[in-house]
Amino acid sequence: MRSAALSAADAEAFASAPAPKRPVRWHILVFLAPAASIYTVVMLLPLVESLWLSFFTTGADRSVVFTGLGNYARLLLDPTWARFFWNALRNNLIFFAINMAVQNPIGILLAALLSLPKLRGRGFYRTAFFLPTMLSFVIVGFVWRLLLSPTWGVAKSFLSFFGLGAWFEPWLGQSSTALITLSLISVWQFVGIPMMLVHAALLIIPDELIEAAESEGIVGFAQFFKVKLPLIWPSIGIVSMLTFVGNFNAFDLVFISQGSNAGPDYSTDLLGTLLYRSYFGAGTQIGDPYMGATVAGVMFAIIFGGVALYLITIQRRIAYYSF
């Protein structure tokens, strides 16, 4: 039977050892196994398999034929497919640009206002601003369609109230305005996320820093731009990255609002809707799983490439401040 009392040296050695170093540390395996296996089996392997499918196509007698990069060539170069692909890519870039230009600045503005000291009703405002993010795409698409519908005249009456009735147009029905309108609806829906994250980042900034700035006479806008903004760049960086990934994966809003044909005249077609249409078909168009997989492959390359680019170039240059 071991003595219950250990020498001081023993106790110290025991206390500072990170874990029992003896045989295999089974618990590490146990801890990692469930997450790693679900993640690998359900997320990564299917992705690889889907991408693998993109190297095949249907042969003459309905057999499966290896075609290398043939599908990719078709998608990017053959007019039948390419016109949809390049259109979708262009639309996606516009969608992303609008989100970055509108969503993040508004989010930052709201966050800045919410972080003002002694703000009354902060919790209420926060919940209100976050509510759109909690809504499903079905609600968002449906309601905005209704509000903007020329038949029911809600938006029109609203504008008329301010004497701007002539400005009203069936925005969702015109190729020139449909994409922008949907982008703004998407901004409306997701502004809650940058708002929350930047808000939190602002709350972390120690009071002493703010007080020091104020004692030097830096207040208001100047204070925001000179003191607060540099400290929240990392959050803005992460938000930008998440926006990028989200936007290039976007599908639901367009599907609910415009259908899988992404009308009018494919003006709202994004890579996500192109993927759906390619894989599942639309109306009488029969789907092609191989081209669907090809679209997915290209989307993956774009998203991955974009994020990698971001991490390599920008992320390095953001200074992290810790308190």
The residue among 211, 214, 234 whose CA lies nearest residue 222 is 214
Q: Which of the 8 DSSP states describes residue 40?
A: I
**Would you count residue 238 as binding another protein (CB under 8 A)?**
yes
Single out the residue of 72, 85, 96, 266 in contact with another protein (rule: CB under 8 A): 266
- Among the candidate windows 86-94, 97-105, 159-167, 277-285, which touches another protein by CB under 8 A? 277-285
Sequence-distant (6+) residues with CB within 8 A of 134 are 192
Give the whole-angstrom CA distance, residue 236 versus residue 113: 16
Give the whole-angstrom CA distance, residue 268 versus residue 7: 74
Question: Footprint of another protein on residues 205-234 (CB under 8 A)?
Answer: 219-221, 234
**Would you count residue 149 as binding another protein (CB under 8 A)?**
yes
Taking residues 65 to 84 in sequence order and writing x for each that binds another protein by CB under 8 A, - otherwise, the string is ---------------xx---
- Among the candidate windows 63-71, 94-102, 132-140, 159-167, which touches another protein by CB under 8 A? 132-140
Q: How far is the CB of 264 from another protein (least distance, A)?
A: 6
Single out the residue of 13, 14, 59, 77 in contact with another protein (rule: CB under 8 A): 14
**Would you count residue 256 as binding another protein (CB under 8 A)?**
yes
Single out the residue of 55, 76, 82, 137 in contact with another protein (rule: CB under 8 A): 137
Single out the residue of 70, 160, 300, 315 in contact with another protein (rule: CB under 8 A): 300
Give the whole-angstrom CA distance, residue 77 versus residue 85: 9
- Strand-strand pairing, 285-286 and 56-58: unpaired
Residues 193, 245 contacting (CB under 8 angstroms): no
Single out the residue of 77, 101, 139, 309 in contact with another protein (rule: CB under 8 A): 139
One-letter amino acid of 238: I
Which C-beta is closer to another protein: that of 100 or that of 184? 184
Whether cis (ω within 30° of 0) applies to the bond prior to 264 is yes
